[in-house]
Amino acid sequence: MADITVLVVDDDHFVQQTLASLVDRAPGLVCVGCCSNGAEAVEFVAAHPVDVVIMDVRMPVMDGFDVCRAVKENPRTKDAKILMISGALDETAVEWAMLCGAEDTLQKPFDGEELLDKITEMATRAG
């Protein structure tokens, strides 16, 4: 099986690097890039299809919900799986993430093993 490709999207550079490093150390996963805002993420996914997008909710330019909708509405990028992460994931935000097309959510601070398990499970899930 080919490596699972992952894009990290977060406006906090430290969080970006932490997530990218965690992904790159996991067998079978590879971080193919990092974006600092939602508009960059939409452009990246359109130019470089990825299996999973790990994305913060609150970002400049476009928030995670808008990015999720844009990725899912594009026939070329709709198959990318989206994991929304945030320190502000209340019940309403989780529902909204799922309505926008996210496959799963994770609360910050997160457990690294749980994050990696979610990425692998999402990428191997059919449809």
Averaged pLDDT for residues 45-66: 92
User: What is the CATH architecture of 6-90+103-122?
Assistant: 3-Layer(aba) Sandwich (3.40)
DSSP per-residue letters across 86-108: ES---HHHHHHHHHHT-SEEEES
pLDDT tens-digit profile of 101-127? 999 999 988 899 999 999 999 988 765
Residues 6+ apart with CB under 8 A from 51: 4, 5, 6, 80, 81, 123
Average pLDDT, the chain: 92
